[in-house]
Structure 1
Amino acid sequence: MAEAGPGLPAGVRAATPADVPDVLRLIRALAEYEREPDAVVTTEADLHRWVFGDDAVARVLVADSAEGAVVGMALWFRTYSTWTGVPGIYLEDLYVEPAARGGGLGKALLTALARIAVDRGYRRVEWAVLDWNTPSIEFYEALGARPMQEWTTYRLTGPALAELGAPGT
């Protein structure tokens, strides 16, 4: 998967392998914010493999503070829509540290994703947000995003996934 190129908004850049500890720190902070602090089992090795390795399936943009510290991130991957006939972007995680919020970094990260999508001819950027996360919902809607009211996300995981995916099933 190609890295995000030049032309990103100020303060946003493509993550490098050196950013993995910061990305994992932000993933854990997001899980804490989303009331699931023990749900993160991702390791630095996982991020190195799946974001920067030969089998990379995701990319990360990071937002730097004026002092150069990584204070935000957008972890995303490419999707494909049979309805539009072209790829899109799925935003898995967007997070900006509380002390860095309000300065435009969240918008800059979403602007960067939109720019990547437009530059590549993709027709959508989509993500999920928790129903109770009113500040994020208001932020997304202020940017023009709209909820997909008629769609419900399903997830197959744990024993159900293992059972369905077992040989001979």
Structure 2
Amino acid sequence: MTDAPMTAPTAAVVIRRATPADTTEVAAMVREIAAHEDQAASVHVPDDQWHGLLERPEVVVLLAERDGAAVGYVSAIRRLHLWTGGDVLDLDDLYVRPGHRDTGVGRRLMAALATLAAPEQLLIRWGTEVDNIDAQRFYRRLGATLRPKILAAWTPAVYGALVPGR
């Protein structure tokens, strides 16, 4: 994908890949979505670290802008999928700022991510909270397959007990 803006004739929204110059805006929106999901305490990336993250080729952050102001983003990590021997895009967040929701921005962001994945036919996958019915409805309208799965997390404080010598 080039860094050229991707636009659709339906709205004055431009979708483009975030660059290190977008560090402040990306960090702000990550904090916003975390607060929206009552997970603000889980965000540990300082703003200045975003600069380096946005330089990494496997980190994909697409920004939606209206009149030059960021109104949302979708983020994903490109990684190896051992079962297929190819890469997948693991969608991390899809976020649209209040006041811009239900205007097609989320759909446009997902379409831009699909445009990025299409040349290599990459699978895009993600999770959503069981009680987030609005998100599930949105993803079904896009044609996504939803299936239940348990997400596990293992923190260093917990798995450290199994590490020899600790």
Matched, 1:36 2:39: yes
- 1:58 is matched with which residue? 59
- 1:159 is matched with which residue? 157
* Match for residue 16 of structure 2 among 10, 13, 17: 13
Cα RMSD of the aligned pairs, angstroms, is 2.1
Cα offset, 1:163, TM superposition? 4.2
- 1:95 is matched with which residue? 95
**TM-score between the two structures when normalised by the length of structure 1:** 0.84
Paired amino acid for 2:22: D
Paired amino acid for 1:84: T
Cα offset, 1:161, TM superposition? 4.2
- 1:147 is matched with which residue? 146
Q: Give the whole-Å Cα distance in 2 for the aligned partners of 1:130 and 1:49.
A: 29
Paired amino acid for 1:69: A
- 2:11 is matched with which residue? none
Cα offset, 1:41, TM superposition? 1.5
Matched, 1:127 2:130: no
Instruction: Tell whether the 8 Å contact from 2:23 to 2:54 is kept in structure 1 after alignment.
Output: no
Q: Unaligned regions of 5+ residues in structure 2, if any?
A: 9-13
State the structure with bigger RCO (CA 8 A, min sep 6), 1 or 2.
1
Q: Give the whole-Å Cα distance in 2 for the aligned partners of 1:60 and 1:74.
A: 6
Q: Unaligned regions of 5+ residues in structure 1, if any?
A: none
Matched, 1:49 2:48: no
Deviation per residue, 1:35-74 (Å, 9 max, x gap)? 112221211222112221xx55412110001x21011011
Q: Give the whole-Å Cα distance in 1 for the aligned partners of 2:159 and 2:47.
A: 25
Q: How many residues align?
A: 161
Paired amino acid for 2:158: A
Cα offset, 1:87, TM superposition? 1.0
60 and 161 in structure 1: CA distance in 2 versus 1, 3 angstrom threshold: farther
Q: Give the whole-Å Cα distance in 2 for the aligned partners of 1:76 and 1:107.
A: 15
